[in-house]
């Protein structure tokens, strides 16, 4: 892992460097070739390849029977995917904007997440729900939310947040092969992010955090695009002589508490970053879990940086205030290290 990680996200020129969108498309294509039960359903997924063009070319290879344009019925086609998953298929549901997950919550939370447990293990729902997340694209309050915390709170669901093309491809392949409902959150501000992705096939196991950068002075735990923000901040902190370790849990459920806690014990100072709203969000669980495991090693309380507790505004100068950026992270890290 670590070598691959090192070359990540800026792959050595010799390596194969592709975008996040391409990595996701490759994962889908490879799994659809590998398993005829895998199919894609969502809005404008076929010819259009989604508004983000992530699925471009898939309908040409796999046909409209396996890349299915659905009506604007998030609850309906998610429910259909649950039934298909229970009866032998492996649906990959495309939710164009994560904000629309609000329309399919019953299907995801009351049906997919619980059917294995409620049936005493007799039915299972191997379904992957791909949804976008993330702000800063001037899409305003109903197209910019990062709602992954909701799903991490529901037993029966697994939750994945890739931060690099390499992770996105390996984790998506694992998600499609998993026998449980998996929420796979893609940051729409990262689709064109480039990174090293080997030509050879690989998968990445769930529940294994990845140390994106090693450091001794403080630990920055970050998810999705916030990992890139953390890495940028880490470079600037290095110039100030502060060596930050950047840890990416990669999957919120299952969560690799061990790796997070070990890093916290090593550095004694922890900053947690996530693009969801800060209150009652992912940063709270990560901070609590780390504090539980490393309390006696911490020099200071874990510092949390999530999105502001405000709906995402459209106005660019306001929107840019709402999510953590390298400046904010550097400032918080300096304060945490008594260098404010």
Partner 1 sequence: MMPSPGLEMRAERHHAMAVDGEQWLHMYRQMLRIRRFEEQVNELYMSAKMPGLAHLYIGQEAVAVGVCEALRRDDYITSTHRGHGHCLAKGASMDRMFAELLGKAPGYNRGKGGSMHIADPDTGNLGANAIVAGAVGIATGAAFSAKMRGTDQVAVCFFGEGALGQGVLYEVMNMASLWKLPVIYVCENNLYTEYTPYQEVLAGEILDRPRAFGIHAEAVDGQDVRAVYFAARRLVERARAGEGPAFLLCQTYRYYGHHVGDIDRSYYRPREEEEFWKKERDPIRLLGTWLLQERLADERILEAIAREVQAEVEAALAFALNAPYPIPDEVAQHVYADKAEP
| Residues at the contact surface with a copy of itself, assessed by CB under 8 A | 99-100, 102-103, 105-106, 109-110, 113-114, 117-118, 140-142, 149-150, 152-156, 252-253, 255, 276-277, 279-285, 287-289, 291-292, 295, 298, 300-302, 304, 308-311, 313
Size of the site for partner 1 (CB under 8 A): 69
C-alpha count within 13 angstroms, C-beta hemisphere, residue 252: 33
CB of 213 to a copy of itself, least distance (A): 24
Q: Which stretch binds partner 1 (CB under 8 A): 36-44, 265-273, 282-290, 299-307?
A: 36-44
* Nearest to a copy of itself of 19, 107 (CB atom): 107
The separation between the first and the last C-alpha atoms of the chain, rounded to the nearest angstrom, is 35
Strands 218-222 and 38-42: unpaired
* Nearest to a copy of itself of 1, 118 (CB atom): 118
Q: Does 73 bind partner 1 (CB under 8 A)?
A: yes
Residues with catalytic function = 143
Q: CB under 8 Å to 17, separation ≥6 — which residues? A: 11, 194, 195, 196, 197
Euclidean distance between CA atoms 249 and 253, whole angstroms: 9
CB 243 within 8 A of CB 305: no
* Nearest to a copy of itself of 293, 326 (CB atom): 293
Query: Is the peptide bond prior to 47 cis by the omega test (within 30 degrees of 0)?
Result: no
CB of 133 to ligand TPP, least distance (A): 15
User: With left for phi above 0 and alpha for psi between -120 and 50, is residue 57 left, alpha or beta?
Assistant: left
C-alpha count within 13 angstroms, C-beta hemisphere, residue 58: 33
Query: Is the Cα dihedral 308, 310, 312, 316 positive or negative?
Result: negative
CB of 47 to partner 1, least distance (A): 6
* Nearest to partner 1 of 74, 245 (CB atom): 74
Show the site string, 21-50: x = touches ligand TPP by CB under 6 A, - = not: ----------------------x-------
Residue 150 interface partner, choices ligand TPP, a copy of itself, partner 1, none, CB cut-off 5-8 Å depending on type: a copy of itself
CB 224 within 8 A of CB 188: no
Q: Which stretch binds partner 1 (CB under 8 A): 109-117, 220-228, 281-289, 323-331?
A: 109-117
Strands 182-187 and 210-213: unpaired
Size of the site for ligand TPP (CB under 6 A): 6
Supply the DSSP string of 28-63, one letter for each residue. Answer: HHHHHHH-TTEEEEETT-STT--TT-TTTTHHHHH-
* Nearest to a copy of itself of 26, 99 (CB atom): 99
Distance of CA 98 to the CA centre of its chain: 12
Q: Does 313 bind partner 1 (CB under 8 A)?
A: yes
Return the residue of 77, 100, 166, 185 that touches ligand TPP, per CB under 6 A: 100
Give the residues lining the site for partner 1 (CB under 8 A). 39, 43-44, 47-48, 51, 65, 69-73, 75-89, 99-100, 103, 106-107, 110-111, 115-124, 126, 137-143, 155-156, 158, 179-180, 308-311, 313-318, 321-322
């Amino acid at each position: 892992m670590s070598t691959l990680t090192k070359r990540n996200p800026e792959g050595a020129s010799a390596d194969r460097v592709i975008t996040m969108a391409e990595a996701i498309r490759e994962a889908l294509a490879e799994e659809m070739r590998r398993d005829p039960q895998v199919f894609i359903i969502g809005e404008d997924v076929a010819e259009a390849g989604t508004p983000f063009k992530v699925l471009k070319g898939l309908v040409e290879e796999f046909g409209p029977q396996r890349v299915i344009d659905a009506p604007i019925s998030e609850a309906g086609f998610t429910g259909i995917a649950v039934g298909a998953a229970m009866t032998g298929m492996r649906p990959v549901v495309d939710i164009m904007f994560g904000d629309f997950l609000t329309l399919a919550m019953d299907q995801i939370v009351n049906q997919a997440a619980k059917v294995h447990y409620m049936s005493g293990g007799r039915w299972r729902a191997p379904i992957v729900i791909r949804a976008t997340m993330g702000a800063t694209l001037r899409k305003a309050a109903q197209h910019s939310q990062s709602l992954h915390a909701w799903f991490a709170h529901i037993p029966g669901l697994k939750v994945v947040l890739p931060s690099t093309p390499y992770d996105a491809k390996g984790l998506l392949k694992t998600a499609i092969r998993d026998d449980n409902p998996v929420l796979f959150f893609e940051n729409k501000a990262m689709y064109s992010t480039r990174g090293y992705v080997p030509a050879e096939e690989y998968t990445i196991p769930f529940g294994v955090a990845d140390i994106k950068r090693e450091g001794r002075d403080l630990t920055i735990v970050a998810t999705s695009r916030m990992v890139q923000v953390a890495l940028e901040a880490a470079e600037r902190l290095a110039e100030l002589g502060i060596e930050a370790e950047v840890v990416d849990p990669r999957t919120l459920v299952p969560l690799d508490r061990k790796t997070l806690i070990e890093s916290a014990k090593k550095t004694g100072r922890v900053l947690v970053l996530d693009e969801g709203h800060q209150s009652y969000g992912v940063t709270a669980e990560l901070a609590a879990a780390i504090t539980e495991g490393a309390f006696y090693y911490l020099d200071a309380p874990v510092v949390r940086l999530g999105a502001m507790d405000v709906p995402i505004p459209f106005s660019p100068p306001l929107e840019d205030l709402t999510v953590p950026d390298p400046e904010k992270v550097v400032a918080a890290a300096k304060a945490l290290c008594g260098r404010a």
